[in-house]
Amino acid sequence: MGLQALKGKKSKKKTMRARARTGLAGVPIDKGFNAVKDYFHINVDKKDCINQVKTWVKKNFPQPSKYILANPEWKFTYTHHAATAFWYNNELNKTYESETAAEFLNHLFDKTIPLIEEGKVILNDKKKELKEKSNVITLSPQEKLKRKINNTIMQELLELEDQWIDGDDTTINIYDRFKFHGLTNTAISYVKPWIEGWLLDYEDAYHKRCDQAVEGYSHLKRSTLNYRIKACKAMLEDLERIRSATKASRNVKVKGIKAVDKQVAKMQYKKEDNDFKIVSINPIQIPTKTRLYTFNTKSKMVTEYVTDSTNGFEISGSTIKNFTKGLSRTVCLRKPLDFLPSFLTRTTKQIDDLWRLHITTKTKVPNGRINKDTILLRVLDK
């Protein structure tokens, strides 16, 4: 075909089909109430049905609606109720007359009105439940422990006492019973006085120290009294073992080392001195090191800090921590300009020789304090 023929041929326009409306958007309101009811039964989901009925309840029962809506949601899921609610929520009854819609409306009222009393019962029950929860007494940790002790080990001790009254030579392993019930040394203060009371009574009767005890246990042989004295002492020894075991297994809180930048954040020191022509190192280099040299420009004291701590130096404010006093020393320099270069450049062995052979002033033990007149000369790892 030629170009003219192509131009002369009319092209067909493509037409887009309108999407079918679904859910509430597709309710066929123009086809009457029965069509709406049938549509709700097939095409409207449960959530939308519930919302339509709830909206209708709020409009028609403004005061008691809270009681009606307190009922479970399954009572609002009936599709014919939802269709009726939709019809009247949108005032379709004013546009489309329908006797069927009016009948279903009466039915909806008949089903809804009883829900008022049912809802009142539900809300009252919820209020009672909340009140009961608010009245629950919360026991303190001490009260919980006391209750646990009374319900466990103390009951077993009372049973043992009953057996002794009946004349039985029995005992209990307190150490094992504590472990069984998950009790620690915190329970000892409740149990120990009870056993000590028994021991005192039996010993008074055995050694005839108390007339009342002698009379009260006159029916028991001396061998029985001796057995119970030994049983009480064994139980008290077990309590001490429990105390020791609890202490041994207690977690030890290890203090963490503070970050280096935070250690030196508040440190006061002299950054530079023009008279002695010396400059401080950055104090952030000091933590974790094992040897530090400082010089006080006001007192002319040179100090050597040494630590044998595995963590090295620590700093708190303007104080050097962890230095070993037996290895650290400080001395006044009579001629600082002659000696300071040695502290900046020489080895620790050379500095030690210098200190012993050429510095004649008295060596003292330093106090660890750094101040605004102190120059931080040098740090070493050895």
Q: What values do phi and psi take at 11, rounded to 5?
A: -90, 145
At 134 the pLDDT is 74
Q: Are 267 and 283 in contact (CB under 8 A)?
A: yes
At 138 the pLDDT is 78
Neighbours of 198 (CB within 10 A): 19
At 19 the pLDDT is 56
Q: Are 332 and 300 in contact (CB under 8 A)?
A: yes
Domains of the chain, by residue range, sit at 23-129, 142-247, 260-380
Determine the 3-state secondary structure of 377 from DSSP.
strand
* Beta strand residue intervals within the chain, DSSP E: 272-273, 278-279, 291-296, 301-306, 314-316, 319-321, 329-332, 374-380
Neighbours of 332 (CB within 10 A): 15
C-alpha–C-alpha distance, residues 133 and 129, integer Å = 6
Of the candidates 329, 295, 334, 326, the one whose C-alpha atom is nearest the C-alpha of residue 309 is: 326
| Strand-pair category, 278-279 with 329-332 | unpaired
Each residue's pLDDT expressed in tens, for the chain with a length of 382 residues: 444 544 455 555 555 555 557 788 889 988 899 999 899 989 999 999 999 999 999 999 988 899 999 999 888 988 899 999 999 999 988 888 788 889 999 999 999 999 999 999 999 998 888 888 777 677 888 889 999 999 999 999 999 999 998 889 899 999 999 999 999 889 999 999 999 999 999 999 999 999 998 888 899 999 999 999 999 999 999 999 988 887 776 666 666 678 888 888 999 999 999 898 899 999 999 998 999 999 999 999 999 999 998 889 999 999 999 899 999 999 999 989 888 998 988 999 999 999 988 898 999 999 999 999 999 999 998 8
- Residue 63 to residues 59, 60, 116, 301, Cα–Cα distance (Å): 10, 9, 10, 90
The full 3-state SS of 246-275, as one line of letters, equals HHHHCCCCCCCCCCHHHHCCCCCCCCEECC
The pTM (predicted TM-score) of the whole model is 0.40
Neighbours of 305 (CB within 10 A): 25
Q: Are 295 and 302 in contact (CB under 8 A)?
A: yes
At 365 the pLDDT is 94
Q: Are 40 and 86 in contact (CB under 8 A)?
A: yes
Determine the 3-state secondary structure of 369 from DSSP.
strand
